[in-house]
Structure 1
Amino acid sequence: MRALVIDRTAPGGLRLTDVPDPLPGPDEVLVRVAATSLNHGELPLTGSAAAEEGAVPGWDAAGTVERPAASGAGPAAGARVVTWGWSGGWAELRAVRVDELAVLPDKVDFVRAAALPVAGLTALRALRRAAVAPGHRVAVTGASGGVGHFAVQLARLQGAEVVAVVGDPARGAGLTELGAGQVVSDPADIAAPVDVLLDQVGGPLLARLLERMADDGTVISIGAASGLDTPLAPYRLVEKRLTLIGIQAGGRTGADLEHLARLVAEDRLRVSASRVADWRSAGELAEDVVARRVRGKAVLTLS
């Protein structure tokens, strides 16, 4: 089969080549991939990808079940599915556990489905971990990215008032339409204290945002895109009685993927796939993702 493999000498650190087909385990289905997405944290050029040269990365993928699980579990051949996994998504075929996928509603196409897993799951589980409820004020950093777009919408669906925090005002375009009540690039402009902070940036921005937290607030750390240290005054955490939690998406994702896909089918959750390209352009698109030139999600279709 054809697949994108890590080759740090190639554009974007990715090369399209032939690799052996995956061998599904007894509780795995074999999926013919139609679309996959690129996430900043899995790209070779971010320096955070731990996979070796020649490995097939890819967390998100959507396609059609080509061979059902030998155990009889999971969907039958021909089912349209969205899948999650720590590798193997950037290939024509993917072996995936039956509890790491969801059957797609007819209204959800492969492009939108491929954008859902990591970004949607991260946003959903962060809000759940913070126990976001109607009336809460929720701030989301990196709100112009894939996780941010989903977090803004899901927090609003849960009845929260949302503050979208972006690197510059231009990147805030469209966030009000997604549900943000306020879009800021400077924490000092946040109108009132926030109960929950979903942070993807870290660094000095996180330190400044801690000053905008309400007493007994919750901070969910889901990334550190700035790559900078966060200067903390520990006793301020005590004074405000803040709770800091770090989370990572993944593991038994099937039910949550089904929930997200249903929200998309019901037009309650919008998938912002602002860049869609053939996977032969993966290197160029990967470079744009690393350089933060993509709003929302970047999706590759398999030709």
Structure 2
Amino acid sequence: MRALVVDHGEAGPVRFADVDEPVPSSGEVLVEIRHIGLNFGELNYVDQWPAGAVHGHDAAGVVVRAASDGSGPPEGTRVALGMSAHAWAERVAVSPASLGIVPEGVDLADAAALGIAGVTALRVLRKRSLLARDVLVTGASGGVGHFAVQLAALAGARVTALVGSPDRAAGLRELGADQVLTDLAGAECRFDLVLDTVGGPLVAQAWSLLAEGGTIHVVGYSSGQDTTFPSGALFGFGEPRTIATYGDMTPTSGELTDLLGLMAAGRLSAPVGLRGNWLDVDDAVRALFARKVHGKIVLDVV
């Protein structure tokens, strides 16, 4: 079968290859993949995975063989894969713990956009009550950012979305952002929670705007820059402020189920900024790296 595998060469980060058919364990289902969702991190930092390994974590498809031990969904069930290793192939053996059942009315391609981006946003925003809280989402035009803006607004937060340029602000107010900025100098409040996907100097800027008891959750570092805090910036009186890291790759079935339920109810939309054919993956990767895509890239497996 065909798959997209890790390529450490100049032509990378992924290439097509013929690989062995997966052999499910007794507790795994076999899924025929229909769509895959690309993420900046797994493609930009591809050297963290071995060359030749089937790449990717997010996808959606149909169960073509149920688990022999009786666990998991039956044959014919539409499913979304989230944070599931080796997902970018024609067929994948998957534990039910990494699957969400896609409800009727939810497009399978939209479900493929959830995965890492949707689950990351949901897990961070569940760390505290957001009702009437001020929340900052940096890199808001990306996949995580689009989901975070919507979910924070659904939870009753006052949402500020930060983007890199005015042309990347489109649609964020419609998703629930109360304010859209291109520079934190224009912030009108101090933030109780910051979901940061950018890293670099922006973390220090956000720290200076953090309310007492507030937290910055660092979920990405797309800027590739270092963070330097001015002398004394990390000292303060009052309720402690914190910076939290994020690297949670635990099973995602529960979160995927919740997110898919919100989609089915019309309360959450998939931020698919580019839909295409997986044969054109090289063009899609270039568009992703050039920051030409708002939201997620979903490719059809054909």
TM-score normalised over the length of structure 1:
0.95
1:14 is matched with 14
Partner of 1:298: 297
From 70, 78, 103, the equivalent of 2:101 is 103
| 1:23-102 correspondence runs (5 A) | 23-43=23-43, 46-102=44-100
The one-letter code of the counterpart of 1:223 is G
- Give the deviation of 1:87 after TM superposition: 2.1
Rounded to whole Å, the distance in 2 between the matches of 1:267 and 1:64 is 22
Amino acid at match of 2:131: P
Contact 2:84 2:98 (C-alpha < 8 Å) held by counterparts? no
Query: Post-superposition shift, 1:132?
Result: 3.4
Distance in 1 (CA, whole Å) between partners of 2:279 and 2:57 is 18
Rounded to whole Å, the distance in 2 between the matches of 1:103 and 1:49 is 32
Identity of aligned residues (%): 43
Asked if the contact 2:6/2:46 (under 8 Å) is kept, the reply is no
Cα 1:278/1:242, change in 2 over 3 Å: same
5+ residue gaps, structure 1, are none
Aligned alpha-carbon RMSD (Å) = 1.4
Cα displacement string for residues 214-258 of structure 1 (whole angstroms, at most 9, x for unaligned residues): 111111110111111111247433316211111124212111100
- Ranges in structure 2 where 5+ consecutive residues have no aligned partner: none
Distance (Å, rounded) in 1 between the aligned partners of 2:14 and 2:157 = 40
Contact 1:201 1:224 in 2 (8 A): yes
Distance across 1 between alignment mates of 2:230 and 2:65: 55
1:165 aligns to 2:147 (yes or no): no
Q: Distance in 1 between matches of 2:64 and 2:231?
A: 53
Q: 1:234 and 1:264 mapped to 2: Cα distance? A: 46
**Which of 122, 131, 134 lines up with 2:120 in the alignment?**
122
Which residue of the partner structure matches residue 224 of structure 1? 221
Contact 1:118-1:249 within 8 A present in 2 as well: no
Report the AA paired with residue 224 of structure 1: Y
Contact 2:2 2:17 in 1 (8 A): yes
1:239 is paired with a residue of what secondary structure? coil
Map 1:230-241 onto structure 2 (within 5 A): 230-233=227-230, 235-239=232-236, 241=240
Code of the aligned partner of 2:275: V
**1:84-105 CA deviation, whole Å, 9 max, x = no partner?**
2442111000111111101110
Q: In 2, distance between residues paired with 1:70 and 1:232? A: 54
SS at match of 1:292: coil
CA shift, 1:11, in A, is 4.5
Return 175-184 or 283-292, whichever deviates more: 283-292
Instruction: Note the C-alpha offset of 1:18.
Output: 1.2
